[in-house]
Amino acid sequence: MINATAPGKIILFGEHAVVYARPAIAVPVFHVRAQATIEPRADARVVIVARDLAREYALDDAPADDPLAAIIRATCARLNVAPQNFCIAIHSTIPLASGLGSGAAVSVAIVRALAKFFGVTLSEVEVSALAYETEKLHHGTPSGIDNTVIAFEQPVYFVRGQPIETFRVARPFTLAIADTGVAAPTKIAVGDVRRAWEADRARCESLFDQIGALARDARAALERGAVDALGDLMNANQVLLRAIGVSSPEIETLVGAALRAGARGAKLSGAGRGGNVIALADAVTQDEVERALLDAGARRVIVTRVA
């Protein structure tokens, strides 16, 4: 039996603008993970068991656009092996459609498990590239940030079309990640932003420029340990995401609750229209912020330390 896992992720800065070649920052979230388990079979079939979806089916019966089948086929092609004689089971503690990178994490876990099963070593770059191809099925025009931060398992400064940059934070900080309970339809939100950009490019480009500038300032702050500066940057980013049209009443309710409870900053994370809100807390405020988010309607709150 072969096991492989991959963490979730959260975007700190740069949502949507990253699709238009502005920088974004994302960090892994190790409190939640996707796992792929492979066992050999006596017959030649490949059987996929998606435990969280209560599905079991053969690879040969899966359509071309099935994400699990697609990543298995693509990975086997890269490994130059025939997909046969195994069962692969997938389980994840990462909430679906919530901006925590569930799809990319499952893909990365599958790639890692298959590489181990067939005795082939793949670099993080190769793992990320394979996962990116499947991200297209999930999101249409993905930025590439999800598969990158999850494959590398490090904070990532990402600019589409440029070399990947991982970096270290000089001083740990605490995030409360609150699930609105509303599924975040990434493909729809990305498509709506694209249509807004096509309708008024000057306005959207200006918003993207401002979001990109906040991401650059945030990286500088993280690298010098200026955690206190992050709160204002997060609040400014939320204003711009609201202007782009990807916030929602549920997001705004949680943002307001976190700030009133003492969070230094709060914003949506991911595609928006639902999904997660992230709030910057500390040892003094984290319990109060978590309680306030739950009282305001968050389905769940993950408190994680970024180091």
Q: Give residue-wise pLDDT tens across range 8-32.
A: 999 999 999 999 999 999 999 998 9
Q: Are residues 76 and 33 in the same domain?
A: yes
Q: How far is CA 267 from the centre of its chain?
A: 15
pLDDT tier for residue 89 given thresholds of 50, 70 and 90: very high
Q: Are residues 143 and 178 in the same domain?
A: no
**Structural domains counted in the chain:** 2
Q: Are residues 49 and 142 in the same domain?
A: yes
Q: Are residues 149 and 21 in the same domain?
A: yes
Let me know: does 132 contact 216? Beta carbons within 8 Å: no
C-alpha closest to that of 34 among 71, 86, 62? 71
Q: What would the pLDDT profile of 93-135 be if each residue is shown by its tens digit?
A: 998 767 788 899 999 999 999 999 999 999 999 999 999 988 8
| Separation CA 5–CA 69 (nearest Å) | 18
Q: Are residues 133 and 250 in the same domain?
A: no
Q: Are residues 265 and 302 in the same domain?
A: yes
For residue 232, how many C-alpha atoms fall within 13 Å in the half-sphere facing its CB? Answer: 5
Q: Are residues 155 and 179 in the same domain?
A: no
Select from 166, 183, 202 the last residue of a domain: 166
Q: Are residues 45 and 161 in the same domain?
A: yes
Q: What would the pLDDT profile of 188-231 be if each residue is shown by its tens digit?
A: 899 999 999 999 999 999 999 999 999 999 999 999 999 999 99
Select from 138, 166, 194 the last residue of a domain: 166
pLDDT tier for residue 299 given thresholds of 50, 70 and 90: very high
Select from 137, 166, 195 the last residue of a domain: 166
Report the amino acid identity of residue 296: A
Q: Are residues 205 and 132 in the same domain?
A: no
- For residue 141, pLDDT beyond 80: no
Q: What is the pTM of this model?
A: 0.84
Q: Are residues 161 and 29 in the same domain?
A: yes
The CATH number given to whatever domain includes residue 250 is 3.30.70.890
Tokens of 232: 């204002």
Q: Are residues 161 and 146 in the same domain?
A: yes
Q: Which domain holds residue 160?
A: 2-166
The CATH number given to whatever domain includes residue 63 is 3.30.230.10
| Given the residues 146, 192, 200, 209, the one annotated as active site | 146
pLDDT tier for residue 144 given thresholds of 50, 70 and 90: confident
Let me know: does 273 contact 182? Beta carbons within 8 Å: yes
Q: Are residues 103 and 191 in the same domain?
A: no
Tokens of 257: 């609750």
What is the pairing mode between strands 300-306 and 173-179?
A: antiparallel
Q: What secondary structure, in 3-state letters, does the chain show?
A: CEEEEEEEEEEEECCCHHHHCCCEEEEEEEEEEEEEEEEECCCCCEEEEEHHHCEEEEHHHCCCCCHHHHHHHHHHHHHCCCCCCEEEEEEECCCCCCCCCHHHHHHHHHHHHHHHHCCCCCCHHHHHHHHHHHHHHHHCCCCCHHHHHHHHCCCEEECCCCCCEECCCCCCEEEEEEECCCCCCHHHHHHHHHHHHHHCHHHHHHHHHHHHHHHHHHHHHHHHCCHHHHHHHHHHHHHHHHHHCCCCHHHHHHHHHHHHCCCCEEEEECCCCCCEEEEEECCCCHHHHHHHHHHCCCCEEEEEEEC
Catalytic, 43? Answer no
